[in-house]
Structures are given as C-alpha cells and as structure tokens.
Structure 1
Amino acid sequence: MGRNSEEKTKKEKEQQEKVDEELDKSGNENDDNAKTHGEILRQQIIDGCETFDRSPSSILLSSFTAGLELGFSFLLLCSVFSFFQGSVEEETLYKTISFVYPVGFILVILGQSILFTEQTSLLTLPVLSNKRSVSSLLKIWGIVIIGNLAGGILIGLTLTWIGPQLGLFQTDVIAKIGEHYASYGILTILVSALLAGWLMGLLSWLVTYSRETTSEIIIIYIITAVMGFTGLHHSIIGNIEIFSAMLISPEIDFLSYLKVLITALIGNALGGAIFVALLKYRAFVFNVKLP
C-alpha cells in the first residue's frame, strides 16, 4: 500500500514537472502570433502568484477600492432607471439599464483593482499548479471579499444619500432594483451566480489574451452587459444593490441580505474556480504527455 502511494506521488510529481516545462516553453513562443492556450495559462498563473505575493494590507486596500469603483455602475443603473421610468414598461427598464452596467467593471479591471469575481479563477490556478496552497487561497479570498463588501457598503451609503440630493433618482428606484435582485429562490440565485462567476472567469482569461486597451474594454463590456441583460447574480455589485435597498425597503431585512449575498458569493466562487480555472487547467494538463 505504501509503495503504491509512493509510486503515485512520484508519477504526480513527474506530471507536474512536465506541465511546468510545457508552460515555460509557452512563455518563449513568438509574441507576434496569437497567444496559445499555454501562453494564456502561464500568464494567468504568473498574475495569480503576483497577487498572492502582495501584502494583506495592499490586497485589502485594492479590493476596498474595487468595491467603491463598482458603485459607479450602481449610480448609473439607478439614474437610467429613474430617467426612463414611466416612459417604458418596468421589465424593459431592467433590460435597458444593462447597457450602463459594465461601466464600473471597466473602471475596476483597467484600473487593476482587485475584484473577487475576476480574481476567483486567477487565484485558483496557482493552487492547481501546486505553486500555492489551498489555505493561502482561502485566506486571500477572505481578504478580497471583505474589502469588496466594505467598499460596496460605503459607496452604497453614499449613493443612497447623494442620488436623491442631486435629483438623479429617488429612494423608490433603489428599493425596486434591490428587491428585483433578491426576488428569486436560493437555488435560482446559486445557479445564476454560478453562471456569472463562469463569465467573470472567462473575462479574466480573455483579457489576458487581448493585446490592447480597446479590445480589453470591448471584452469587459460584452461579458458584463450579458450579465446585466440576463440578470445573473454578481455578488459584489449585488451587495451594493441589496444593501442599499435594505436601508429603504421593508421587503428586505438583514437576514435576507445575508442569505442572498452568501449564496451569490458561493455561486460566483464555484463558477470561476470550476468552470474556468479547473477546466482550462485540466485541458492543458491532459494534453501533456509523460516521456
């Protein structure tokens, strides 16, 4: 039994060494060509390791900034909803606001602030490639989530006050958007968030593939607009929506807020880690043959 275990460990080590060798080879390929699967994977692992190596205070501050910056999407959602309210049906309004939904994501990703859903798959890859531990992954996820949520709560408090003061929207708009986000069953929210996490993981992968800022903006816009149009549950902007509504609407209490938020966080994490990080990594590993 012990011998079989040793042989299995040795085989796994050889496999990992071969995978690392192939990834290193990918890094030396011609930059004039389109990036290969291996090149993208290698860059994602490098980027993920760089985030792991940052100090906790730096990660917390960057993720807090991301939570704040994502609030500009919420500001536009409420403003556009209010502007067209009464002119079109409410169901059409929820589709219309999806066209401004990507703005905060563009600010966050191009500004290189740390957003949990974008970093989920990115941070999972160093663990899959045995360069970082699961415990360090959970720790860094925790820091990023705390920072994102804290930033979102602060910007939510700010916009709930400044929006009506500037005449951009009234509190009933905040309540409607938050109630709409929280109006689904737990299983529905979980699967919806899983799909959103999958899309955000793909966003990170495709941004790594792109070579210029314009293409990055287009990629970010398309993917996040899809999430907005279909109403998929993104935990971080959803935190702003439902927290702000909780301050106003009797329909949402603190328990409902926590239940929806935790479900969305779990779904986003699973979507990014499983459907992007794990599958993309395993697709590369399965193509690596031992000598």
Structure 2
Amino acid sequence: MKLQNIFRSKPQKVEDVSNEPKTVYHIFREQINTGLAVHNRSSQGLFASSLAAGLEVGFTLFLSGVLYTLLHPHISEYAMHLVIAFAYPIGFIFVIIGRSELFTEHTTLAVIPVLRGSASIKSLARLWSIIYVGNLIGGYVMAMILSGLGPTMGIISDNAFYHLAHNMVKYNWLVILGSSILAGWLMGQLSWLVTSSQETISRILMIVLITSLIGLGGLHHSIVGSIEVFAGVITSRIEIVDYFHFQFWTTLGNIIGGVVFVSVIKFSTIKFSEMKKKDKTLE
C-alpha cells in the first residue's frame, strides 16, 4: 500500500465565504458529506489521524497541569477551577481545527450517514473502533511523556496529576454516566456548530465556548479524561481499576449523549420537516 494512502489528510471543507447564514438543511448536508468522507477513508488513514488526535488533545492535560502547579499555592480552589476550565479547550482547538479524528466528534458525524441509509452499521463499528483505539493509544503516549517530563522539569507536579485524575474518578458509576452523557451531548452540539460556522475564528470561538463548559462543569470526556486518569495512575495513588471503571462508563455515556441527544433528535427533526414539505407539495 502506498505511503500517501496511509497518511492521507482528512477531507477538507471549502471555506464558505458567503455572508448568508447556513440553513439547517445546508448544515445537515455538510454533516452527511463529512461523515461519508470519514466512512470511506482507509483504516490506516483513520488510525494515523486518530493517533495524532490522541496526542494533540493531550495538550489540555499539559496546560491544565502547568497552570495548577504554578498557581495552586497562590489562588483559591474556586479560582483554580475556573483557570483549569478555560485551559480545557486548547487540545480540542488543535484537534478540530487541524481536522484530526476525535472519537467524540464521530458519535454524531459518523452516525448521521447511517441514519440516512448512506452507510452501514458495520462501517460505523469499524470507524468507531479504529478511532477510539487510536485516540486511546495516542493519549497513553502523551500521558507517559507528560508524567515523565513534567515532574523532572518541575513544570507539572505529581499533585497536579493526582488532582486532575481524582476529579474524574471520585464519583460512582451513575454520576459518571450522567456526566458523560452531558459531555457527549455537548460534543455533538459542537460538531453541529462548527459545521454551521463560516470562518475559522468562529469555529475556534465555538470550540472554546463548548469545551470550556465541559471543563467548568467537570463533565467526563472519554479521551481527555482517559489521559488525565492514566497519568494519575502512573504518577500517583490512582488505581488502575479506577481507570477502567471511569473509562467504561464515560465511553458509554459519551456515545449515548452524541447518538441519542444530537444525531437521532436532529435527524428526526429534519426528517419530519422533509415529510411535512412533501405533504404540502402533494396537496
């Protein structure tokens, strides 16, 4: 297989220079086309892109850890929570603007073509599994890099890793599931809003707005959270069983939030609108 087929970039959208706001049908068509393009990518290309996304989104942990280490002795707990929340978007900006493949984007994007009948469930399962594994592996590598370099260079303390990980694993399964459903819902909405935005700066603003909300609420994200908790396992007293408990319920919740609350509801709304238009035409 040719090397360029493995590392072929994610299909790029042509920038919409029109000043007219996109209609819901325009956004929906773009979501279908983007989703189909991902379904049609090679497995090697998907894995390479998802591996990159796992590494890139790990910069959220880097920035959060550095800020916690530097500011923790000097500001209140509430102020620290706000600082970390507004550091949360950095990794998502790298991934989404750079068009790497992030699992929680595809709980919406990849599902819409399946609901439309343009892609199969088998194709969805292939896509999800490759992207999810690639994201996790990239995240593990980033967690190991940061857990080694951070304390050695004095920029991220072991206490920072513990704090960030403990905030993810300290809840019971029901709380984690509910929190991750909300996070999946927000990530699905983010996918929709990024598609509706016409300029890069608008897309960055949407990413900052939505992911800051996830950070502010302490909601559970299966990829960023995986990196945070895995780094906590390496550097502190977080147990590996805590990681697997967190990862299972968070992944399930993110899928439910993205698929049910965004893909199915948005699809159903547009489907009913199309049916209504057809009925009026027949009349």
Return the TM-score normalized by structure 2: 0.89
2:147 to 150, 153, 160: 160
| In 2, Cα distance between equivalents of 1:211 and 1:33 | 9
Match in the other structure for 1:150 = 137
1:169 maps to 2:152: no
Match in the other structure for 1:231 = 218
2:57 to 70, 75, 79: 70
1:47 maps to 2:34: yes
Gapped runs of 5+ residues in structure 2?
Answer: 1-16
Q: 1:120 aligns to what SS in structure 2?
A: coil
User: How far did residue 92 of structure 1 move?
Assistant: 3.4
**Amino acid of the residue matched to residue 283 of structure 1?**
T
Match in the other structure for 2:44 = 57
| In 1, Cα distance between equivalents of 2:117 and 2:18 | 27
Dislocated runs of 4+, deviation >6 Å: none
2:198 to 192, 199, 211: 211
1:280 maps to 2:276: no
Match in the other structure for 1:96 = 83
Q: Deviation string for 1:192-231 (max 9, x for gaps)?
A: 0000011011111011001111101100001000100110
User: How far did residue 177 of structure 1 move?
Assistant: 1.0
1:253 maps to 2:239: yes
| In 1, Cα distance between equivalents of 2:202 and 2:24 | 18
How many residues align? The count is 261
Choose 124-133 or 163-172, whichever is displaced more. Answer: 163-172
**Amino acid of the residue matched to residue 272 of structure 1?**
G
| In 1, Cα distance between equivalents of 2:137 and 2:185 | 24
User: How far did residue 169 of structure 1 move?
Assistant: 1.9
User: How far did residue 149 of structure 1 move?
Assistant: 0.3
User: How far did residue 135 of structure 1 move?
Assistant: 1.9
Match in the other structure for 2:10 = none
User: How far did residue 32 of structure 1 move?
Assistant: 4.8
| In 1, Cα distance between equivalents of 2:78 and 2:233 | 22
User: How far did residue 95 of structure 1 move?
Assistant: 2.5
2:182 to 195, 199, 206: 195
Match in the other structure for 2:252 = 266
Q: 1:122 aligns to what SS in structure 2?
A: coil
| In 2, Cα distance between equivalents of 1:158 and 1:91 | 29
Q: Which structure's CA Rg is the greater one?
A: 1
| In 2, Cα distance between equivalents of 1:142 and 1:92 | 38
Match in the other structure for 1:37 = 24
Instruction: Please give the root-mean-square deviation of Cα atoms over the aligned residues, in Å.
Output: 1.3
User: How far did residue 234 of structure 1 move?
Assistant: 0.7
User: How far did residue 89 of structure 1 move?
Assistant: 2.8
Choose 162-171 or 49-58, whichever is displaced more. Answer: 162-171
1:241 maps to 2:228: yes
**Amino acid of the residue matched to residue 285 of structure 1?**
K
| In 2, Cα distance between equivalents of 1:165 and 1:248 | 12
1:85 maps to 2:72: yes
User: How far did residue 99 of structure 1 move?
Assistant: 1.1
| In 2, Cα distance between equivalents of 1:205 and 1:268 | 16
| In 1, Cα distance between equivalents of 2:47 and 2:161 | 27
Match in the other structure for 1:3 = none
Gapped runs of 5+ residues in structure 1?
Answer: 1-29
| In 2, Cα distance between equivalents of 1:209 and 1:169 | 37
User: How far did residue 254 of structure 1 move?
Assistant: 1.7
**Amino acid of the residue matched to residue 200 of structure 1?**
M
**Amino acid of the residue matched to residue 264 of structure 2?**
L
Choose 91-100 or 214-223, whichever is displaced more. Answer: 91-100
Match in the other structure for 1:115 = 102
Match in the other structure for 2:5 = none
Return the TM-score normalized by structure 1: 0.87
